[in-house]
Structure 1
Amino acid sequence: MTTNLLEFDLDGLVVFCEQLGEKRFRATQLFRWIHQRGAHDFDQMTDLAKSLREKLKGCAHVQALPVLSEHRSTDGTVKWLFDVGAGNAVEAVFIPEDDRGTLCVSSQAGCAVGCRFCSTGHQGFSRNLTTGEILAQLWFAEHSLRKRFATTERVISNVVMMGMGEPLQNYSALVPALRAMLDDHGYGLSRRRVTVSTSGVVPMIDRLAQDCPVALAVSLHAANDPLRSNLVPLNLKYPIHELLDACNRYLEHAPRDFITFEYCMLDGVNDQPEHAQQLISLVHAYRRPGVWCKFNLIPFNPFPVSGLHRSAAGQVAIFAKLLSDAGIVTTVRKTRGDDIDAACGQLAGEVQDRTRVTERMAKRRTIMLLPAEHFANDKKEM
């Protein structure tokens, strides 16, 4: 059984090479060949000693994930479905823009958090991805896109851990992958251009601040605990005040001086003026010098079992204006790749049949989605 070298950040590859009797600089050369040049054949790595290449052939390989399908949107977005074995698959999405190329990467097959508005959460959880499976999405996308565009220049400038799964619930595999993305001998991405999105795993936010601080995006979606707990069940364990305290602590280490709060706009659920006022009060209660947070309003991408609907464009505009007028930097996310089910909240992949599991979960669900007016005057709002 040989080792897939995509499983290692540079420090891990150094240890691997030392076990082969090789020095650190050999690991650096090898790391560059794999990640900067996309090499998978050791014979291609011409500046490595022939003896090392022969050793590697006997104990190692560089293997991307099998591609089950590729879909291209009319807007240039590309979605890949990768096979991760045992009937499971994960998706990655490339989003081209004039000034950047962003890759949305998955961290788990399925997701255990179960947010009401996310199709991935409705399929159930299968397993965590390994570091190599996380990095393989970037490795394949970067080097296949270079071939497609006939360039040797870097195509992917930004990575967002916003694909399938909750990244901070797969922490031990996530951090080495992030380090490989940031390493100058790897992809050389800026900490400001690598974003981890979380539904609010508070202890892991604190650990990430110490271990590998990158840009942070938090799925907020509500300003009071009853409504957020209904939409994001993890809020029952880590309520809003604990989450925002963790965000404040993270800012002491973050490469950016603000946290991005993601807010999925759900018709009649969290999109009314009173909800905007609750958010304004919440932000002001945690006021810091300067701009400490930004809001990204996300159009909901409906899927049949959610029972939810997208807010009207006019309602989103009213909501955004209320936040902006209160001095909160607010943007409305442009939907990309929705014609290939690659937009936010649409990634579901192909996992083993979990229909019965999902039905049982639905029957056990005791918190029902209540109308917006139920929460309008909630005494617990912050």
Structure 2
Amino acid sequence: MEYIFDYSLDELKAWFKDHGESAFRAKQVFDYLYRGVTEIDEMKNLNTSAREKLKEHFRVTLPKVLDQRVSKDGTVKMLMLLEDQNIIETVIMKYHYGYSVCVSSQIGCKMGCTFCASTKDGMVRNLSAGEILSQVIASSVLVGERISHVVLMGSGEPLDNFDQVMKFLDLIHAKEGLNLSHRNITISTCGLVDKIIELADRKLQITLAISLHETTDEKRRLIMPIANKYSIHDILNSVKYYMSKTGRRVSFEYALVKGSNDGEEDAIALAKLLKGMKIHVNLIPVNTIKEMLYLPSSNEAIQRFRDTLIGHGIEATVRREMGSDIDAACGQLRRSYMENM
């Protein structure tokens, strides 16, 4: 059986026509699905014949919330159970402008970044476009409000699941569905250069975020295996190409590790790398993860690093820490749950 959230409106219209039903039924089904109604018998606008055909052909479910933790800052982290019994993480964050959801694009991750819990148990499989979308819809149902921003910064490397992520962008942007502007969507990547270029050629108005974290290839290879394939020079060239094609500013993520990459000389080196580019730097205190030796930089070191970047003409902010009391960093909650099963 196919997963109905993988279908676009046009695809569902074609399916209804192929099965002897009126194409307009597809819009009726979409109206229910995107409000979180997944019981086909509750779709009262549909005739009995259409409902029975849907039951025979489609899986019509949202992921089940297996565990839910609420931070003192209002962040909600959910463990979601998929139909094949795999577990993914989704995080809901409340901002002054509304709700932002951080979704997973894969179950596990094969990128091997040493500071990320998502990759510790390896890669299981890619999520389908509908499975990524279903996290947003389930989150909207939970909070009872529209989701205004989506970040593909959860478990997995989004550009390693390129085709399904691109279809997800089409689905969530469609006016018949959630009608979310591409400008309200951020995709984070560790630097898959060929995919950055392919994404640039699509000229989408999303925000691209690059996980950089070091200023030399030698040091980056120690924490991010992808650096063995793509150099910082390669990444910066692909970013410049992306900006030339889209006109969009790019964000660079830099996780600050105490005594490793948080010194003034590191800040100066980063500023030199990014000089003249239309970018923004997000400084992130590294998450303390079980079995890892990384410690977050002190507040003083973080502010000094930011001030040095700004002094060298680089726009930089310190990312607000959200959900640190509920294992809200990528993969932490899933991993702790799996260990206790």
Tell whether the structures are fold-level matches, with TM greater than 0.5: yes
Tell me if structure 2 keeps the 8 A contact 1:302–1:309: yes
Q: Distance in 1 between matches of 2:203 and 2:53?
A: 32
Q: Does the residue aligned with 1:261 lie in a helix, a strand or coil?
A: strand
Q: Does the residue aligned with 2:270 lie in a helix, a strand or coil?
A: helix
Could you say which residue in structure 1 is the equivalent of 2:164?
173
Tell me if structure 1 keeps the 8 A contact 2:207–2:248: no
Q: Does the residue aligned with 2:82 lie in a helix, a strand or coil?
A: strand
Report Cα offsets for 1:199-232 as digits up to 9, x if no partner.
0111112222334722111101112111112121
Match of 1:312 among 272, 290, 298: 298
Paired residues in the alignment total 338
Could you say which residue in structure 1 is the equivalent of 2:176?
185
Tell me if structure 2 keeps the 8 A contact 1:324–1:330: yes
Could you list the runs of 5+ residues in structure 2 that have no partner in the other structure? Answer: none
User: 1:172 Cα deviation (Å)?
Assistant: 2.3
Q: Distance in 1 between matches of 2:315 and 2:142?
A: 36
Provide closer, same or farther for how the CA distance between residues 313 and 177 of structure 1 changes in structure 2, counting only shifts above 3 A: same
Give identity over the alignment, percent.
38
Q: CA RMSD for the aligned pairs? A: 2.2
Query: What code does the residue aligned with 1:139 have?
Result: I
User: 1:88 Cα deviation (Å)?
Assistant: 3.4
User: 1:347 Cα deviation (Å)?
Assistant: 5.2
User: 1:126 Cα deviation (Å)?
Assistant: 1.6
Tell me if structure 1 keeps the 8 A contact 2:155–2:330: no
Could you say which residue in structure 1 is the equivalent of 2:192?
201
Q: Distance in 2 between matches of 1:248 and 1:300?
A: 27
Match of 1:215 among 207, 214, 218: 207
Match of 1:81 among 68, 75, 79: 79
User: 1:62 Cα deviation (Å)?
Assistant: 1.5
Could you say which residue in structure 1 is the equivalent of 2:8?
9
Provide closer, same or farther for how the CA distance between residues 350 and 138 of structure 1 changes in structure 2, counting only shifts above 3 A: farther
Could you say which residue in structure 1 is the equivalent of 2:324?
338
User: 1:115 Cα deviation (Å)?
Assistant: 0.9
Q: Distance in 2 between matches of 1:84 and 1:44?
A: 22
User: 1:187 Cα deviation (Å)?
Assistant: 1.1
List aligned pairs for 1:230-249, cutoff 5 A.
Answer: 230-249=222-241
Q: Does the residue aligned with 1:294 lie in a helix, a strand or coil?
A: strand
Provide closer, same or farther for how the CA distance between residues 247 and 21 of structure 1 changes in structure 2, counting only shifts above 3 A: farther
Tell me if structure 1 keeps the 8 A contact 2:63–2:83: no
Could you list the runs of 5+ residues in structure 1 that have no partner in the other structure? Answer: 147-152, 354-382
Q: Distance in 2 between matches of 1:193 and 1:271?
A: 30
Q: Do residues 279 (structure 1) and 277 (structure 2) align?
A: no
Tell me if structure 2 keeps the 8 A contact 1:73–1:337: yes
Larger RCO of the pair (alpha carbons < 8 Å, separation 6+): 1
Q: Does the residue aligned with 1:216 lie in a helix, a strand or coil?
A: strand
Could you say which residue in structure 1 is the equivalent of 2:140?
142
Q: Distance in 2 between matches of 1:111 and 1:230?
A: 18
Query: What code does the residue aligned with 1:10 have?
Result: L
Tell me if structure 2 keeps the 8 A contact 1:87–1:351: no
User: 1:17 Cα deviation (Å)?
Assistant: 3.0
List aligned pairs for 1:363-382, cutoff 5 A.
Answer: none
Tell me if structure 2 keeps the 8 A contact 1:265–1:298: yes
Provide closer, same or farther for how the CA distance between residues 17 and 141 of structure 1 changes in structure 2, counting only shifts above 3 A: same
Q: Does the residue aligned with 2:291 lie in a helix, a strand or coil?
A: helix
Q: Distance in 1 between matches of 2:22 and 2:315?
A: 49
Q: Distance in 1 between matches of 2:269 and 2:331?
A: 24
Report Cα offsets for 1:265-301 as digits up to 9, x if no partner.
01111111111111111112xx25xxx1000000111
Could you say which residue in structure 1 is the equivalent of 2:27?
28
Match of 1:323 among 306, 309, 314: 309
Query: What code does the residue aligned with 1:278 have?
Result: A
